[in-house]
Amino acid sequence: MFFKHKNAKIHRLYREKLGLKELIAIGVGGMIGGGIFSVLGIAVGLAGNGAPISFLIDMLIALAAGYHYVKLCLTFRDDGASYTYLKRAFPDKPFISSIEGWIVILGYIGTLALYSFTFGAYGADLLGYPDSHSVRIILSVLVLLFFYYVNFRGVRSSGVTEDIIVYLKIAILSVFAVIGLARVDTSRFVPLMNKGILPVFLGAAVIFVAYEGFQLITNAVAETENPDRDIPRGIYGSILITGLIYFLLAVIAVGTLTYHQIIKAREYALAMVAQPVLGVFGRVLIGIAALMATSSAINSTMFGASRMMAEMGEQKIMPHFLAKRNKKLVPVAALTILFVFALGFSMMGSLGVIAEFSSLTFLMVSIGVSLANIKLKEKTKANIGVAIAGLVLMVITSTTIVGYLLRTNPGEIFTIVSLYAVVSSVAVLYSRGAFKIKQQ
């Protein structure tokens, strides 16, 4: 999910060099693209009163992953795609970077499903059908169809509109957090670890996808006025700001609603949290913010993912037909494949399954980037102790998800692992030219 083009439109907004303010906006906007709207109920369901701590743990893991991106980004300033870091780290083993690229695309599909699922859940709540599975599916299908059509036609959203959406959703959540804190009942946090310590770490592992997005800052390195100073500040700063917002919202959720109220509204939990704080108006406001955030994320993810698939097709890392574009330079085949798989995943998967898959995939990609940084430590000047500590933290988090699924849903982890195995095998075959065909 470390996507090369996802926020390219935002980058082009600035004709002058980017500063720290713009970089933080890119990072925070990328992370709050649907994450907190999707996973708040999941976090409370797993961690109970300890859900706010789960978000803080995730913030630390994101900072560890961010360290690797900072080092690689400042060393190789021409590209921010994660699979290119693997290509530089293992030039004699092209299958490694090929696997990374294919796994990234899987991550795109997972996040598209997550965003469309969340759009449908909040949309159904706004329409007065919060418990209707059918309405949720219809809205999820419609939003994917709409942005498939938008991208198919080659219509790009106004950069100014995109920027307004980013800042508006941040403002709404920040104001809500400040007002909501005054209504928190601290007695609801007793005992803090009501489900135990391990569920808090499990909650952090499953909802890690909420921090996907900070790596978009690396794509702006060539346009940054002072990258050596501002890229690290932008990445770490955006993670800290996002983590604080997530933490406060989780505190408000646990401190204003009962566990059963949150679980009942799991798929649109943040809207339910807003009602006792700001009344029906608050519930509607958060619902609208969720629709804006997920819509923006779906549009930019479709745009970026299809272009990345086209580039991988050109490099023969993926089937070459994916590289073909229409007269408006839209990679229609890549866009269609993304749409179909995201549509199927969103319709058939539950919110928990989609979040687990997306978080695990995000962690797999982060582990790959970490390995690249460690392999290239002489060039990146990485502190090997810090680098290895971050890698170990991500491996433990990934293992936590796998262990949880083995215990609770072995069929799901078997499906996920099988999918990784199939995709990795195909990636290796493509990297070795096993599917080489005559090209024009």
State the Cα torsion 139-331-428-2 to the nearest 10°: -60
Q: Is residue 349 part of a domain?
A: yes
The whole model's pTM is what?
A: 0.84
- In whole angstroms, what is the distance from residue 22 CA to residue 43 CA? 30
Q: How far apart are CA 40 and CA 57, in angstroms?
A: 14
**Average pLDDT in the 159-184 region?**
76
pLDDT at 435: 59
Average pLDDT over all residues of the chain: 85
pLDDT band for position 14 (50/70/90)? very low
Share of the chain above pLDDT 70, in %: 90
Domain, as residue range, for 245? 8-431
Q: Which residue has the tokens 């983590």?
A: 243
Q: How many CB atoms lie within 10 A of CB 411?
A: 8
Range from 112-126, 207-221, 337-351, 361-375 carrying the lowest mean pLDDT: 207-221
Give the angle 282-284-285 at the CA atoms, nearest 5°: 60
Residues 173 and 383: their CA atoms lie apart, in Å, by 36
Domain-embedded: residue 1: no
Q: Enumerate residues 6+ apart whose C-beta is below 8 A from 384.
A: 374, 377
Least confident of 279-293, 402-416, 425-439: 425-439
Contact between 251 and 184 (Cβ < 8 Å): yes
User: Is-contact 219 188, C-beta < 8 A?
Assistant: no
Burial (Cβ within 10 Å: 0-12, 13-18, ≥19) of residue 421:
exposed
* CA distance linking residue 281 with residue 272, whole number of Å: 11
Rounded Cα gap, residues 265 and 272, in angstroms: 7
**pLDDT of 3 higher than 90:** no
Q: Is residue 23 included in any domain, yes or no? A: yes
**Position 411 in a domain:** yes
What is the per-residue pLDDT for 270?
87
- Count of the separate structural domains present in the chain: 1
Asked if the model's pLDDT at residue 161 lies above 70, the reply is: no
The yes-or-no verdict on residue 440 having pLDDT over 80 is no
User: Is 437 part of a structural domain of the chain?
Assistant: no
So what's the pLDDT on residue 12? 45
Q: Answer whether residue 3 is part of any domain.
A: no
Q: How many CB atoms lie within 10 A of CB 378?
A: 7
- CATH code at position 342: 1.20.1740.10
Q: What are phi and psi of 224, to 5 degrees?
A: -90, 135
- pLDDT tens, position by position, 117-137: 999 999 999 999 988 999 999
Q: How far is CA 307 from CA 44, 178, 327, 331, in A?
A: 36, 39, 15, 7
Whether 378 is covered by a domain: the verdict is yes
> In the predicted model, what is the mean pLDDT of residues 14-39?
75
Residue closest to 27 by CA, chosen among 71, 55, 66, 60: 66
Domain assignment of residue 439, yes or no: no
- Report pLDDT for 146: 93
Find the range with the poorest average confidence among 61-70, 152-161, 164-173, 398-407: 152-161
- At 302 the pLDDT is 87
